[in-house]
């Protein structure tokens, strides 16, 4: 089951990150680049680093210069995350490209990789909510609240895992078909973001 593979690798990635717990820890992907496991580990590592960057930038006492630098890192991370999701979708698309869809086959509302993206984020929520449940300095009220939330997250992971496995099974059987849409993030493209291309035009005129 692909969901079981995803959940195990996401857990491994999160645990490995927290050995140091530092956002600048170099990625040491234990899986061969030609394997889907490599992409899954990379996907969750990006998510884990970005999770902690989002924590840091919400510090009300953060230096504005540092905050801007982190915001740029988050923007870059978002683009990298999207790229990896598309690589994962390409893997599934290539794997099942020879499957002939049934006459009544339908397309899913989201691709396998974007569902796996949500599973990766859920793994992080579960890890950190579990940490709150076991926080030594937390009140019992806080722990009870977090335990209730953790149970919901675990149920959500179970439901999403089953849905992902069913989607892959339907694609294998030709009951569903998939397309790979290349995301068009406009704000990172100098030719599509008006702030960037107007600045370029202004600089060209000044020159």
| Residue 190 confidence (pLDDT) | 63
Indicate whether 88 belongs to any domain: yes
Residues pairing with 117 in the sheet: none
Indicate whether 116 belongs to any domain: yes
| Residue 189 confidence (pLDDT) | 59
pLDDT along the chain (207 residues), means of 10: 97 97 95 96 97 94 94 92 94 94 93 97 98 95 96 98 97 92 59 58 57
Indicate whether 182 belongs to any domain: yes
Indicate whether 121 belongs to any domain: yes
Domain that holds residue 91: 2-190
- The pTM for the full model equals 0.86
Domains of the chain: total: 1
| Residue 197 confidence (pLDDT) | 54
CA–CA dist 56, 73 (Å, integer): 12
C-alpha to C-alpha distances, 74 to 6, 33, 41, 62, nearest whole angstrom: 23, 24, 19, 16
CA–CA dist 154, 150 (Å, integer): 6
| Residue 179 confidence (pLDDT) | 83
| Residue 150 confidence (pLDDT) | 98
């Amino acid at each position: 089951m692909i969901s079981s593979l995803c959940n195990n690798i996401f857990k491994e990635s999160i645990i490995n990150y927290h050995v140091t717990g530092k956002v600048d820890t170099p990625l040491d992907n234990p899986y061969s680049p030609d394997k889907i496991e490599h992409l899954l580990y990379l996907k969750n590592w990006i998510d884990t680093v970005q999770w902690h960057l989002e924590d840091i930038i919400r510090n009300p006492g953060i230096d504005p210069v540092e905050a801007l630098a982190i915001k740029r890192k988050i923007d870059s991370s978002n683009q990298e995350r999207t790229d990896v999701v598309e690589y994962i979708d390409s893997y599934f698309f290539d794997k099942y490209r020879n499957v002939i869809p049934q006459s009544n086959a339908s397309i899913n509302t989201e691709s396998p990789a974007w569902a796996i993206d949500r599973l990766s984020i859920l793994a992080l929520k579960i890890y950190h909510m579990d940490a709150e449940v076991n926080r030594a300095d937390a009140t019992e009220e806080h722990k009870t609240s977090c335990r209730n939330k953790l149970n919901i997250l675990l149920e959500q992971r179970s439901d999403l895992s089953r849905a992902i496995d069913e989607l892959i099974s339907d694609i294998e059987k030709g009951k569903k078909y998939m397309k790979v849409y290349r995301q068009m993030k406009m704000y990172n493209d100098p030719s599509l973001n008006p702030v960037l291309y107007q600045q370029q035009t202004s600089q060209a005129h000044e020159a």
